[in-house]
Amino acid sequence: MSLDLRYLAGVRPSARQRRWQELEFYGFVHFGMNTVTDREWGLGHEDPALFDPAHVDADGWVTAMAAAGMRGVVLTAKHHDGFCLWPSAHTAHTVAASPWRRGGGDLVAEVASACAAHGLAFGVYLSPWDRTDARYGTGTDYDDYFVAQLTELLTGYGEVFCVWLDGADGEGPDGRRQSYDWDRYHRVIRALQPDAVISVCGPDVRWCGNEAGQTRPDEWSVVPHELRDAERVASRSQRADDGGFSRAVRSDEVDLGSRAALEGYAGECVWYPAEVNTSIRPGWFHHPSEDGQVRGAAELFDLWRASVGGNAGFLLNVPPRADGVLAAPDVASLHGLGELIRAHRAADRSGEAVVSTSEVDGRPRTTLTFAAPLRLRSVDLAEDLDHGQRIEEFTVELSLSGQVVWRGGAGVVGHLRILDVPDVLADRVDVVLQRFRARPVLAGIRTTTA
């Protein structure tokens, strides 16, 4: 069966997926019982009296994340241990049973309020695995409980941009396992927060395949619909209580959507863009022993360039300390990262160019000519996603005084493709779209200087 390129080019994102893509970069906050017990995975049934952080500063968290250039925050409202950071009416294992805020605290509300104050989108993570609740593994009874908690989170805290669901599925009482009713969960989310993307174990945003920040050379948003079910398999989620998972590269298949990958595929293709998620530290929760292993601003900037600049969203976890404050090394890295991102955007010189378009042998060419030579660092391309993802390959030529001084290129573009260029002077940039599925529609070309 030959590929229908017009069909592939016609697959488009939903409005919620477009809004998610525009966010580009947002944060994860892992905080809770595991923070105070210094674990990655709690065992369940931890005494709520242990949770009494003295200086919870949700505004400080969001301020630091906004300074890094993030446009949203996803809070772990409940991790696998089952302890809820809001006073859920459906379990006693919540902040209401703790001494924090004298039992009157609601951390979900505090983070949602801080996000609103700083103009950041707010999202939630609710672990499907609950190691405390006795209903886990009972089927419908547990699904009812999970849906009840979803309903609390999606009706009590304003607009939610993302519901982040993983496939964690460990043992419950007496070795019982729960078969999650994902379709039901999705229907509830769509009904209560129709503009929210459902990520990973959901139909809107897919996991990139690892938690190390590794990206594919070419990240396709148009992929076989079966990938929507891939992350529901528990064996693909974290299986050990340690920090190694967040630095392990386990991307199962490098090519998900090229012509070669889809050749002979007779099923439906869907718009299912990738998210790169990783932590600023080896673990997802804060551990004092890892204070010397915080990723620096330069490393985080490289991850941002590779993910956001590789047609993926970037979700960076920043875990607060047990007292409720972000650690100084994390804050320093976030501020440094924000400076680097802002400098990259400010270094765009494309507005100074004379732009012309032409076509050679059916290949569209865009030429940017500058009055004086520039020392370029990158050429950034973006497609108009309202027309789908069409570009399969492009080349860039840098010229000085009529002589080509460098030629390079890359594959797919999508929302954004950042192509690094060497340290050479150039007064002309030619971008040639070499291979595509239908007539490409560019949203823009940026040329950034060193």
Distance (Å, whole) CA 333 – CA 39? 23
- 188, 172: one domain: yes
Query: Could you say which of 292, 313, 346 is where a domain stops?
Result: 346
- 27, 133: one domain: yes
Instruction: For the chain, 450 residues long, give each residue's pLDDT as a single digit of tens.
Output: 568 999 999 999 999 999 999 999 999 999 999 999 999 999 999 999 999 999 999 999 999 999 999 999 999 999 999 999 999 999 999 999 999 999 999 999 999 999 999 999 999 999 999 999 999 999 999 999 999 999 999 999 999 999 999 989 999 888 999 999 999 999 999 999 999 999 999 999 999 877 777 788 999 999 999 988 876 544 444 444 555 433 332 335 789 999 999 998 889 999 999 999 999 999 999 999 999 999 999 999 999 999 999 999 999 999 999 999 999 999 999 999 999 999 999 999 999 999 999 998 999 999 999 999 999 999 999 999 999 999 999 999 999 999 999 999 999 999 999 999 998 999 999 999 999 999 999 999 999 998
- 261, 354: one domain: no
| CATH number, position 432 | 2.60.120.260
Distance (Å, whole) CA 103 – CA 264? 59
Please give the tally of structural domains in the chain: 2
- 354, 303: one domain: no
- 368, 294: one domain: no
- 305, 380: one domain: no
- 68, 191: one domain: yes
- 65, 132: one domain: yes
* Terminal CA-CA length for the chain: 47
Identify the residue whose tokens are 């396709």. 220
Range of the domain at 126: 5-346
| CATH number, position 21 | 3.20.20.80
- 16, 83: one domain: yes
Distance (Å, whole) CA 187 – CA 184? 5
- 391, 340: one domain: no
Query: Could you say which of 346, 367, 391 is where a domain stops?
Result: 346
Strand partners, 315: 26, 277
Q: 126 in the Ramachandran plot: left (φ > 0), alpha (ψ -120 to 50) or beta? A: beta
- 320, 438: one domain: no
Number of H helices, E strands in the chain: 11, 17
- 366, 340: one domain: no
Query: Could you say which of 346, 373, 405 is where a domain stops?
Result: 346
Neighbour-count burial of 252, counting CB atoms closer than 10 A to its CB (0-12 exposed, 13-18 middle, 19+ buried): exposed
